[in-house]
Each structure stands twice: as C-alpha cells, then as structure tokens.
C-alpha cells in the first residue's frame, strides 16, 4: 500500500506494513496510550514502520504536537500485545493505539511536553467522538498488560486529559496513614480489593491472597490513578481512590 487518507485530519501519513484485519469484525472501543520508550521520536517512527519489528501503532505524537498516522483505524495495529481488559483479550482488535514520543523510564523519563499533550487531547477527542468510545475505555498500556508494561507511566497527565473531556479520572485521595494491604496478606479485605480492581477492568484473580500479581496490578492502578506513589501497596488512599472511581462509573458499567 502506498498510502491512505488520514482518519484524523491533523495527521501526516507514513504507512507501516505491520498491521492486519481486526478479528471477528471487532470495532475499536478502546484507546491505548503508550510511550515510545526509545531515545528519539524519529527512531521510534522508523521502528514502528520496519517490517522486522512486527510492531506498529495507529498514531505517533511528537513532542511538538506533530502527529503521524501509520495504520488505518479500520485495521488492527500491533501495539498492545498480550493483555486483557474487562475479561477480554486481543486488545489490538478492539483498540486504537497512540504512541506518545517519550524515551521513557530507561532514558530518564522526561516530562511530556505541553504541545504534545494538547495534540494528544485533540486526537483523542476526535477518535472518541467518531467511534463513540466512552471515557473509561481510554487506557494506559500498563492497565491492560500490568505484568509486562509500565507505559505511558506515572507522569502521563491523566488529570489534564480528563479536564479536557478525555478519559475517566477522579482526584486521588490524599496519602495519609491508616490500614493498608501488601504482599502476603490474606482475607476478606484482600478479596474486596481484588474484586474492585477486577470490576474496574484489571486482569486480576479474586483469590483473597495478596500475591505478586496483585501487587503488580495495584502498581498499575496507581500509575494511572494515584501517580504520587507507585509502590504496589494498597494503602488507604489507593483503596479510597479505586472506590470513588468505581462509584463514578456510569450505572450500566459498574
């Protein structure tokens, strides 16, 4: 394919060969946010378009706000890999992937640039409008693949996106003392925590034991919704924030 018309009018086109059809007639109803995790934007763009990499994304957003579309929204880009949300696997078939240029935790993890975030917001508003994607399905890669991925990371400004009408968010409860749960604990409070995480969408089993997987999922939750401290410990602030987030879901979802 030599090219296609951009689905988003503000995007330049650079075609990636790394895509296929969405399976089982699935349509995009999730947006997955990533960071590129490479030293420069152009190197990430080249990698996402290199047949050898077998990865791609629908969009790439540069620091200055320039947007490149690499895969048509109607096609399945290869950005999410293994993962689940609300019990559903094959995230690639049901999502649109946005790679935000940032070298990530391996290279100092700088702040996201304001112009870049403005561009991400405009792009997301356009996509969610065209595909009727609900706010609570604008997610981090780390939400769907908590054991493998930590992007776009705790610096991604979810609160700012939410203020602009993108994504689901409540102001995190302040960190203070009080009872908390961590690895090794068992019992009803752990079961309740796992149930709330699973109800929100995270892939965690309800076992009543706070195991390593639970810790990883709690950290993923914090990275998105309580970014001030990402430690995998379900402190009171974490649990309260999760509780309020669930309460803020539309009734037909929760």
Rule CB under 5 A: which residues touch Zn ion?
Answer: 34, 141, 151
**Do β-strands 138-140 and 30-35 pair in parallel, antiparallel, or remain unpaired?**
parallel
Task: Tell me the sheet residues that pair with 35.
Answer: 100
Tell me whether residue 92 or residue 241 sits nearer to Zn ion (CB atom).
Answer: 92
Q: What is the spatial distance between Cα 144 and Cα 220, in angstroms, rounded to a whole number?
A: 9
Q: How far is the CB of 234 from Zn ion (least distance, A)?
A: 25
Task: From the candidates 99, 136, 154, 215, give the one annotated as an active-site residue.
Answer: 99
Q: How far is the CB of 149 from Zn ion (least distance, A)?
A: 5
Task: Give the torsion through C-alpha atoms of 250, 182, 139, 199, to 10 deg.
Answer: -30
Tell me whether residue 31 or residue 170 sits nearer to Zn ion (CB atom).
Answer: 31
Strand, coil or helix: 176: coil
Instruction: Confirm whether 12 is a catalytic residue.
Output: no
Q: How far is the CB of 198 from Zn ion (least distance, A)?
A: 22
Angle formed at CA 141 by CA 135 and CA 143, multiple of 5 degrees? 70
Tell me whether residue 153 or residue 172 sits nearer to Zn ion (CB atom).
Answer: 153
Tell me whether residue 137 or residue 141 sits nearer to Zn ion (CB atom).
Answer: 141
Read off the tokens for 83: 């993962």
Q: How far is the CB of 151 from Zn ion (least distance, A)?
A: 4
**Positions of E strands within 23-126:** 30-35, 59-61, 67-69, 75-77, 95-100
Helix 212-225 and helix 236-247, axial crossing angle in degrees, nearest 10: 70
Q: Which residues are catalytic?
A: 99
């Amino acid at each position: 394919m030599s090219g296609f018309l951009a689905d988003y009018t503000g995007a330049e086109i650079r075609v990636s060969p790394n895509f296929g059809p969405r399976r089982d007639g699935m349509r995009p109803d999730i947006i997955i946010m990533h960071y590129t995790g490479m030293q420069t934007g152009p190197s990430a763009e080249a990698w996402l378009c290199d047949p050898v990499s077998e990865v791609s994304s629908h969009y790439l957003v540069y620091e200055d706000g320039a947007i490149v579309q690499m895969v048509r929204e109607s096609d399945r880009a290869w950005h999410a890999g293994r993962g689940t949300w609300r019990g559903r696997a094959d995230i690639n078939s049901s999502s649109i992937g946005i790679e935000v240029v940032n070298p990530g935790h391996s290279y100092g993890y700088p702040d996201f640039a304001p112009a870049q975030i403005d561009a991400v917001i405009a792009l997301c508003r356009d996509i969610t409008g065209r595909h009727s994607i609900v706010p609570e399905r604008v997610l981090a890669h780390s939400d769907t693949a908590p054991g493998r991925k930590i992007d776009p990371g705790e610096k991604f400004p979810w609160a700012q996106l939410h203020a602009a009408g993108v994504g689901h968010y409540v102001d995190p409860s302040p960190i203070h003392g009080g009872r908390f749960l961590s690895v090794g604990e068992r019992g009803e409070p752990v079961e309740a925590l796992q149930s709330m995480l699973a109800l929100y969408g995270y892939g965690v089993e309800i076992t009543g034991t706070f195991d390593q997987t639970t810790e990883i999922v709690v950290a993923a939750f914090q990275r998105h919704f309580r970014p001030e401290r990402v430690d995998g410990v379900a402190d009171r602030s974490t649990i309260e924030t999760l509780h309020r987030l669930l309460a803020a879901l539309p009734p037909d979802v929760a």
